[in-house]
Amino acid sequence: MSRSSRVTVALAAALLFFVSSAPANAQIAWTSQPDPNAPALGGCWGNCGAGCTGELWGGFPAPCGGAHQWTLTIIGFPWATGQVVEDAPFCGPIYNIYPQHDVYQASGRWTYQGQTTTGCYFHDSVCRNQGDAACFWSAVQIFAGGDLNTFCLSWAPNWWTYDTIVVGQTVNVTHYRTSNERCRRPPQ
């Protein structure tokens, strides 16, 4: 192997080491929450629920049923951004010891799975373009006849997605920090 080939391999290995800073065995709990108002979702147009939810205004369940849920898919390598210290230390031989977890960020894709129907598309076209009063009256007209079967015709699952940076931390403790606080042991 020539000298330039060895240098290229060494640089590639170093780059791979720095790019993938999360250990392969690190279990990361992603703590970020989805944003149902993310502009890329378009308000989940046609979803049978208020925006990107499975509920109607007032907290009532969506009329046509079905699954309404968020899922997160990590689409890039996590990178370390620091550490977080647990609030509750434990007592070492002399000083308090604080467990620490590594904090990571990664590119993530949030997906909202909802349900669409012809009636939900109709409702959204009235409600989102006409305002609250028109929306209220369209809902009254739709539900006054009590024919939910017509409203829920052509029921189908649908998915809306957006990409963002998500934050998480290791599930298991990765480091321990000894403080300069003396342990307070109960008298024996």
Summarised one tens digit per residue, pLDDT across range 104-136 is: 999 999 999 999 988 888 778 777 766 666 666
Number of domain units in the chain: 1
pLDDT at 153: 78
Structural domain harbouring 123: 40-182
CA torsion 48-54-60-65 (nearest 10°) is 60
Residues 105, 79: contact at Cβ < 8 Å? yes
Residue 1 lies in a domain: no
pLDDT at 21: 54
Q: pTM score, two decimals?
A: 0.73
Residue 60 lies in a domain: yes
pLDDT at 19: 40
Residues 164, 110: contact at Cβ < 8 Å? yes
Residue 156 lies in a domain: yes
Q: Is the pLDDT confidence value at 148 over 50? A: yes
For residues 128 and 114, give the distance between their C-alpha atoms in angstroms, rounded to a whole number.
18
Q: Is the pLDDT confidence value at 46 over 70? A: yes
pLDDT at 101: 94
